[in-house]
Amino acid sequence: MDKILITGAGGFIGSHLAKRLYEEDYEVKAVDIKWDGYLPEPYYTEKLTLDLRSRENCRIALKDVDQVFHLAANMGGIGFITEVGAEIMHDNVIMNANMLQESVESKIGRFFFSSSACIYPTYRQVDTENPGLKEEDAYPADPDDFYGWEKLYTEKMCEAYQRDHNLEVRVARFHNIYGPHGTYDGGREKSPAALCRKIAQASNPGNIEIWGDGQQTRSYCYIDDGVEGILRLMKSDFQEPLNIGSDRLVTIEELADMIIKISGKTIEKQHLLSAPQGVRGRNADLTLLKKTLKWEPQISLEEGLTRTYRWIEEKF
């Protein structure tokens, strides 16, 4: 079986992906600059702590590897990516460029890049009733933050390496992948984990703070479905960016209500209107996903939130 490199294997999606492949008896080389420790170890065959901003470290990571899942990134939730721009663009562009160039020189068989729904233009996300962003909607480009611009630039860099060096590339645009065993505090957590944490920490009865007016909309994809989508895309012949997410649109207010119901608590919601809340409405169109992969996410939002809340609840 192929030897697999997973960068960002200490993070949320990377660790879940590594665990899945490790349990399927693949030889998994896990690389990260830090290890969050959410999943019980080992979930890999080999573990290396490396800073991939160094090209030499990328060369070390890629030694004797057949396929690459490149998920390493300097990133976080809406608060972090709104506040931080230069650091995100600098670190990620250097890592991505190093990994692509060294993958060519190491004669890697296939390269997966984790992009984001943040690449989609702001002018297509002004309505809370967003009908769903199609892959073709990425252009004319106008991402809503520096993180989105960095991801979109790397998509084009992947395209260039595919054309000029025949590097087999697969690109997924993730739409809010969530679940247990991920960041839930510290400022880099995403909205489902942040709300689960707030509700788990609240007294009963109690109250929580919601960023914005709560009417902004998003769609959420559970981590197990996210990993399944990654693997199906990697094994496919599809060479263009592909949405991986859910097309079930909910408001942040509705998301909070679902988690409150799961908790069994009586919680009042207060809104911080001055807080960052991102685009007004973002949803995934899964038409191309279903056609290409003959599959779609299977785990309901209610089930995924229940698993996530129960895991976070145990931390307090």
Q: Give the catalytic positions in this structure.
A: 147
| Sequence-distant (≥ 6) Cβ neighbours of residue 96 within 8 angstroms | 70, 113, 154, 157
Which helix H or strand E contains 256, and what residues bound it?
helix 252-263
Q: Which 8-state DSSP code applies to residue 113? A: E
Q: From CA 123, how far away is CA 140, in angstroms rounded?
A: 10
CA distance 250 to 305: 13
> Is there a contact between 285 and 243 (Cβ–Cβ < 8 Å)?
yes
Report the distance separating Cα 51 and Cα 46, nearest Å: 16
Cα radius of gyration rounded to whole Å, the chain: 19
Query: Nearest Cα to 211, choosing from 252, 174, 267?
Result: 252
Structure tokens at 133: 């962003």
> What is the bridge-based pairing of β-strands 177-178 and 221-222?
parallel
CB 48 within 8 A of CB 29: yes
Is residue 219 a contact partner of residue 176, using CB atoms and an 8 Å limit?
A: yes
CA nearest to 306, candidates 250, 270, 255, 230: 255
* Rounded distance between C-alpha atoms, residue 2 and residue 66, angstroms: 6
Query: How many whole angstroms separate alpha carbon 195 and alpha carbon 252?
Result: 9
Which residue's structure tokens are 């967003």? 130
